[in-house]
């Protein structure tokens, strides 16, 4: 297990190197002069030159990369072309909002997926199983922004129960901000709940067919004990991996959900940066989300070992 984790950790620098090459290339594959694209056609040539120098675009490509990556290694992701603020500060200022949205969506999706997956597996091939899996496939098929718009139409416009937009922080001010977060969290978490419930159902079905489950049932244990103490422990393992992958989806999904509900998070910062052609911010957010995703996957691998003695001892 330790060897596996060490092997995974040693792969990370290589992975980060290739990720950094991809992010570095984003600005360089732009057709035409990236500075002119960022500044528009009527910009001041002196300002253009200063931006070109700031982004090291006036130097050879390998030098550009070394300058950029050494800045990143020292926590300098550059400055926003639009606001002149350091990119790291911009991301840090919005980080908690996006994280609270993603974490709340993750908790909600698990809270829906676990009971649904268990019910479907324990009622395998029954109308309840078919019904739940049909609804799960439906929920999986509706993009989060469609769910968000439909929720706004019904919950806010028709019934007026919740505000259409607003922002806050679920960690620091849960009492004041939950009303703003309810619809975004639901629209973000619904499809993930569907994916995880489908995964848990098939994983639980596979475990329930194993000999040790038959033995536990044969020795007279209650069905609930067999399910919770023996079957679910193993069946939840693949869900850990899926949950880590889902965290990446949630960060990506936050982009569009934040736009719809006017939440000032990293997603809405990214869209503002894309329309302003603010490449340092786009690169900074891409790097930040990739690193977060890599860490989440590493954590999942580690948790897998913690929860599964077979992997830990192998």
Partner 1 sequence: MSSDVTKTGKVSRQSRSEFRLGLQQLIKNPLAAAGLVVILLFVLIAAFGPLLPVADPLKQHMNIRAATPSSAHFLGTDQLGRDVLARLIYATRASLLISGGAVLLALGLGVPLGLCAGYFGSWTDAVIMRFTDAILSFPAIILAIALVASLGTGIVNVMIAIGLVSMPVFARLVRASALLTKAEDYVLAARAIGVSNTRIMIRHILPSSIAPVTVQIGASFAVALIAEATLSFLGLGVQAPNPSWGMMLNDARDYLSDAPWLALFPSACISLAVLAVNFVGDGLRDALDPRYRDE
Shortest distance in whole angstroms from residue 228 CB to partner 1 = 24
Say how many CA atoms lie within 13 Å of 162 toward its Cβ.
21
Asked if 53 contacts 250 with a C-beta cutoff of 8 angstroms, the reply is no
Buried b (16+ CB within 10 A) or exposed e, 204-218: bbebbeeeebeebee
Among 4, 145, 178, 302, binds partner 1 (CB under 8 A): 145
Give the list of residues 6+ apart from residue 116 with CB closer than 8 angstroms, or none. 132, 136, 193, 197, 200, 201
By beta-carbon proximity to partner 1, the closer residue of 119 and 286 is: 286
Among 270, 280, 301, 304, binds partner 1 (CB under 8 A): 270
Q: Report if residue 140 touches partner 1, rule: CB under 8 A.
A: yes
Among 98, 177, 234, 289, binds partner 1 (CB under 8 A): 289
Q: Which of residues 50-79 bind partner 1 (CB under 8 A)?
A: none
Shortest distance in whole angstroms from residue 86 CB to partner 1 = 19
Residue with the two structure tokens 């309840």: 128
How is residue 78 annotated by DSSP? -
Q: Report if residue 186 touches partner 1, rule: CB under 8 A.
A: no
Query: Alpha-carbon Rg of the chain, whole angstroms?
Result: 24
Q: Which phi and psi angles does 256 have, rounded to 5°?
A: -80, -35
Q: Which of residues 197-236 bind partner 1 (CB under 8 A)?
A: 205
Q: Report if residue 29 touches partner 1, rule: CB under 8 A.
A: yes
Bridge partners (DSSP) listed for residue 86: 79
Which stretches of the chain bind partner 1, using CB under 8 A? 11, 14-15, 18-19, 21-23, 26-27, 29-31, 137-138, 140-143, 145-146, 149-150, 152-153, 157, 205, 248-249, 251-253, 255-256, 259-260, 270-271, 273-275, 277, 279, 282-283, 285-286, 289-290, 293-294
């Amino acid at each position: 297990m330790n060897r596996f984790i060490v092997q995974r950790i040693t792969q990370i620098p290589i992975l980060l190197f290739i990720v950094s090459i991809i992010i570095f290339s984003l600005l360089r594959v732009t057709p035409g002069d990236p500075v002119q694209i960022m500044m528009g056609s009527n910009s001041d040539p002196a300002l253009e030159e200063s931006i070109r120098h700031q982004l090291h675009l006036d130097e050879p490509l390998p030098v550009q990369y070394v300058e950029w990556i050494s800045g990143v290694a020292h926590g300098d992701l550059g400055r926003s072309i639009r606001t002149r603020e350091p990119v790291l500060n911009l991301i840090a200022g919005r980080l908690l909002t996006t994280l609270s949205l993603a974490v709340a969506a993750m908790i909600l999706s698990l809270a829906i997926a676990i009971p649904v997956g268990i019910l479907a597996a324990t009622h395998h091939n029954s109308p309840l199983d078919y019904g739940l899996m049909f609804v799960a496939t439906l929920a999986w098929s509706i993009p989060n922004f469609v769910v968000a718009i439909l929720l706004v139409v019904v919950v806010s416009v028709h019934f007026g129960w919740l505000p259409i937009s607003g922002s806050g922080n679920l960690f620091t001010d849960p009492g004041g901000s939950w009303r703003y977060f309810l619809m975004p969290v639901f629209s973000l978490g619904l499809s993930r709940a569907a994916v995880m419930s489908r995964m848990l159902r098939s994983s639980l079905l596979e475990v329930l067919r194993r000999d040790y489950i038959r033995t536990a049932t044969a020795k007279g244990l209650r069905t609930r004990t067999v399910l919770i103490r023996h079957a679910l422990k193993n069946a939840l393992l693949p869900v850990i991996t899926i949950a880590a992958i889902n965290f990446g989806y949630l960060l990506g999904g936050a982009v569009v959900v934040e736009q719809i509900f006017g939440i000032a998070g990293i997603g809405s910062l990214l869209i503002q940066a894309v329309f302003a052609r603010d490449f340092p911010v786009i690169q900074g957010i891409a790097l930040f989300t990739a690193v977060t995703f890599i860490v989440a996957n590493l954590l999942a691998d580690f948790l897998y070992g913690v929860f599964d003695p077979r992997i830990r001892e192998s």
